[in-house]
Chains A and B, each alone.
Chain A
Amino acid sequence: MENEKHHIVPYRLYIFVLVGLLALTFLSIAITGIDLGSLTVAGALAFASVKTYLVLKYFMHLKYDKPYIVSMVIFVFAIFVVTIVVTFLDYLYR
């Protein structure tokens, strides 16, 4: 029997993370007022990525999980990013 999570995550940690997520959400809405041109997408994705990182690490317990699970998650995102990049080798250069 494995019991790798002796550690019980306190409620307040989750509240802090939520506050952070809400702040990032409102920030991302606020910056749509500013014209960033071609960086708009990058900005939006940056905020979304930070929020995702918080959800993965704290809500989904990756901070407390064994390293190989974290490796798998990183690997899958990497494969996805590579797929988009290679697809754009076609569309960017047509």
Chain B
Amino acid sequence: MEQAKIVVHDHYDAEASKIGMWLFIFTELLLFGVLFVIYSVYRYINHEAFHLAAEELDTFVGAVNTVILLVSSMTIAMSTTSLQKKNKTITLALTGITLILGIVFLVNKYFEWGAKFDHGIFPGSEYLTENLSQGEILFFGLYFIMTGLHALHIIIGLVLIAVVMWKVYTGKVHAERAALLENSGLYWHLVDIIWIFLFPLFYLIH
């Protein structure tokens, strides 16, 4: 049997990692895009019902969540600058703020959904199917699916950010090896963009 030494490589191609993350972002855009297609079709067909159902949602909470995500996008974008300026403390502070803001978002969501459940509004509920029109049922179905899937992506983003924070802390991610932070930032901005569209389409129909 021919033996050979184990080959070890240290490839770091920041641009390849960046394209890789952008390509992944494209798949997420299309994933949510399909849900927006479904939303558009059903809103077109059930114009009045969507308006009626949207009254149930609290615009204030939605607005607060929007502001939270926008600020968190700024903080994680800033962290790429601080990393390049080799300022580890500020980088950790900024990513930490992003993390906390993301958690606050999820807490808001939890209470929002909780309030809905208390009113008997959840997918497949008796209240929904017996009392509401078809358009309203569809509105809430889409509301839960889209905000739920979005929240799942927030969780994934938070895990990523936590991992990056650890790697910044231990020095594995630094100014010359910034790809993980930058690409996690890209992912977080994607999550922000999805909410930028979700907010007006669900909360600002009046």
Most chain A beta carbons < 10 A, residue from B45, B185, B196, B206: B196
> B73: which A residues are within 8 A, CB to CB?
18, 55, 59
Shortest B145–chain A CB gap in Å is 18
Complex contact A48–B15 (CB within 8 A): no
Q: With A44-B201, A80-B30 as known contacts, state yes or no: A60 contacts B19, CB within 8 Å.
A: no
Query: What's the Cα separation between A11 and B197 when bound, in Å?
Result: 26
Complex contact B70–A84 (CB within 8 A): no
Shortest B58–chain A CB gap in Å is 13
Q: Mark B12-33, 1 if CB is under 8 A from A, else 0.
A: 1111001100110010011001
> A28: which B residues are within 8 A, CB to CB?
200, 204
Interface size for chain B: under 10, 10 to 19, 20 to 34, or 35 or more residues?
Answer: 35 or more
Residue A67 lies at the interface, judged by CB distance under 8 Å to chain B: no
> Which of B12, B80, B204 is the one whose CB lies under 8 Å from A29?
B204
Query: What's the Cα separation between A4 and B14 when bound, in Å?
Result: 9
Describe B's contact surface by its main secondary structure: helix
Describe A's contact surface by its main secondary structure: helix
Complex contact B70–A18 (CB within 8 A): yes
> B1: which A residues are within 8 A, CB to CB?
none
Of chain A, the residue at the smallest CB distance from B36 is A84
Shortest A16–chain B CB gap in Å is 10
Q: With A22-B70, A25-B66, A76-B29 as known contacts, state yes or no: A55 contacts B81, CB within 8 Å.
A: no
> A1: which B residues are within 8 A, CB to CB?
12
Residue A39 lies at the interface, judged by CB distance under 8 Å to chain B: no
> B204: which A residues are within 8 A, CB to CB?
28-29, 32, 44
Query: What's the Cα separation between A79 and B27 when bound, in Å?
Result: 12
Shortest A5–chain B CB gap in Å is 8
Q: Name the interface residues of A26-56: CB closer than 8 Å to any CB of B.
A: 28-29, 32-33, 40-41, 44-45, 47-48, 51-52, 55-56
Q: With A29-B59, A52-B196 as known contacts, state yes or no: A18 contacts B74, CB within 8 Å.
A: yes
Q: Name 7 interchain pairs, CB-CB below 8 A, sorted by A.
A: A48-B196, A48-B197, A56-B189, A60-B185, A60-B186, A66-B15, A69-B22
Residues of A within 8 A of B (CB): 1-2, 4-5, 8-11, 14-15, 17-18, 21-22, 25, 28-29, 32-33, 40-41, 44-45, 47-48, 51-52, 55-56, 58-61, 65-66, 69, 72-73, 76-77, 79-80, 83-84, 87-88, 91-92
